[in-house]
Amino acid sequence: MSLLIVTHTNKWQIKIILILVASLIVFLILILTNKLVSELIQREKESVQLFADVYRRYTNLNTNPEDIDFLVTKLSNLIKFPMIMTDENDEPIYPFESYTLNIYFDAKWTTEKKRNYLKKMIEDIKKDYPPIVVYNENGEIFAKFYYTHSSLIERLRYFPLIEMLVAFAFVYFVYLAYKNIKKSEESKLWVGMAKEAAHQLGTPLSSLLAWLEIIKSPEIKELPQEEIIREMEQDIIRLQTISERFSKIGSKTEKIRINLIELIDNIVEYFTKRMPHLGKKVNIIKNYPNKQIFCDINPILFSWAIENLLKNSFEAIENKEGKIEIRIQESRKKVQILISDNGKGMTSKQKRLAFQPGFTTKTRGWGIGLTFCKRIIEDYHNSRIYIKESTLGKGSTFVIELPNKFPNL
Domains, the chain, in order of start with CATH, read 8-153 (no CATH), 253-403 (3.30.565.10)
Q: How many whole angstroms separate alpha carbon 65 and alpha carbon 111?
A: 29
Q: Encode the chain (409 residues) as per-residue pLDDT tens digits.
A: 343 334 444 556 666 776 777 677 777 777 777 777 777 777 777 777 777 777 666 665 555 555 555 555 666 677 778 888 898 899 998 888 888 888 888 888 999 999 999 999 999 988 888 898 888 777 888 889 898 877 777 667 666 677 667 666 766 776 666 666 566 555 555 555 555 555 566 566 767 777 677 676 666 556 666 776 777 777 777 676 666 666 666 556 688 999 999 999 988 887 777 666 566 788 899 998 877 899 999 888 898 889 889 988 988 888 878 899 999 999 888 999 999 999 999 988 888 888 876 666 665 544 567 888 888 898 888 899 999 999 998 999 999 999 988 776 5
Buried b (16+ CB within 10 A) or exposed e, 11-47: eeebeeebeeebeebbeebeeebeeebeeeeeebeeb
The helix/strand/coil state of 65 is helix
Q: Are 293 and 335 in contact (CB under 8 A)?
A: yes
Question: Measured in whole angstroms, how far is the alpha carbon of residue 305 from the centre of its chain?
Answer: 26
Q: Are 143 and 86 in contact (CB under 8 A)?
A: yes
Q: How many whole angstroms separate alpha carbon 323 and alpha carbon 256?
A: 31
| Phi, psi for 330 (deg, rounded to 5) | -125, 135
